[in-house]
Amino acid sequence: MRTLKKFSWLTILIVMLSLAAPVEGASDLPESHEFYDEITYLIDRDVLKGYPDGTMRPNAGVTRAEAAIMISRLKKFDVTPRATGFPDVPASHKASGSIAAAAKAQLIKGYPDGTYRPENTITRAEMAFILSRLFIVPFRADVSFTDVSPNMGVYEPVQQILAANITIGYPDKTFRPNATVTRGQFSAFMARGLEPKFKNDATIAQSYLRDKTKNYVYDTEYGIERHAYNYVSARNGLPMGFIWSIYKDDGSLLTDSTEIETHEHYTFGLPYSESYSELEYPAEVRRAWYTDTMYAAPRIISGIGVTVETQFQTFTNAIEITVDPNPEFLEEGHTYYMVEGFGEVKSVKLDGTVTKELIAVE
């Protein structure tokens, strides 16, 4: 009995010590790290793991082999070591199974000479290609990065991850496609592709995008609408991904919508259909623009720092935009108000009739 009692107390002590240890156990990942939450999120999903010495090395470059390993863990691929088809990745390579699986799924590709170069640190351009294949992003954002042009192969992948709020580029309006990517940065990009709350971080300063973790309720001329950011794999046979869905008050779906913001403008539209620039940057009084479509009339910023009352709250920092009442366009003349962090909060016809108004954020 004494032996059993001693063993029980020893077992309890071991369990207590294990519970007290940090979950991540990474000696070089303080909570103050820029991407601590994203890295921890991927650790919890068994997508990212540390090194045998207890480090996470968030500021080290992520290799092409490590990228394949993370992708394979996320997709739960069979990573049994095997031939890869790349001459520089034999079956004996530690990442051969992951590279073979990710390549078969067409999520990664080699170089024109047939090699994979597993120890190379991936670039931001390579990262864009990988993430555009990994996540459903059928939408495109206008790319105006000074170092990414339409004749570049990476142009469309950048359009996709920009539209999906996976990246926003740098404040100087560059994307830096040839820059290398750290383990922390790659974790942030992956987390943004997987979780709406991390997408909120991929925004410009003074963003007018709505919080993707909340629902927005509006009183409109067509009835109550609830806008919810959710994942839709497909709609009517078309791939969708994360998108704003608009529901009627009875819970039935009205439509899906897109909300995209770049350093140049805020755009609202319908998937696989029309989209309109609702606000141009920098926002200045008398700034005017026109989206080349008969469905959207010319717009002009008629006020900045405007106070506007809604059923939700009174805003004192709204931008007022007036839509030209031009009979050549299908859109009627009206005035609408944009607020940082809330998007459009109110729309009023020129005769004073309110057609849309924010009433709740849940």
State the chain's maximal CA–CA distance in angstroms: 94
Q: CB-based contacts of 198: which residues, under 8 Å, 6+ apart?
A: 37, 38, 41, 188, 191, 192
Angle subtended by helix axes 64-75 and 124-134, to nearest 10? 10
DSSP state of 182: B
Closest CA to 278 of 262, 292, 267, 294: 267
**pLDDT value, residue 25:** 55
Give me the tens of pLDDT residue by residue for the chain, a chain 362 residues long.
333 333 344 333 333 333 323 334 578 899 999 999 999 999 999 999 999 988 999 999 999 999 999 999 999 999 999 999 999 999 999 999 999 999 999 999 999 999 999 999 999 999 999 999 999 888 889 898 999 999 999 999 999 999 999 999 998 999 999 999 999 999 999 999 999 999 999 999 999 999 999 999 999 999 999 999 999 999 999 999 999 999 999 999 999 999 999 999 999 988 988 888 999 999 999 999 998 888 889 999 999 999 999 999 999 999 999 999 988 888 899 999 999 999 999 999 999 999 999 999 99
pTM, to two decimals: 0.87
- Burial status of residue 341 (CB atoms within 10 A of its CB: 0-12, 13-18, 19 or more): middle
Q: How far apart are CA 290 and CA 287, in angstroms?
A: 11
Closest CA to 35 of 164, 266, 198: 198
Closest CA to 331 of 359, 290, 301: 290
Amino acid in the structure at residue 19: L
- Burial status of residue 118 (CB atoms within 10 A of its CB: 0-12, 13-18, 19 or more): buried
φ, ψ dihedrals at 183, nearest 5°? -60, -35
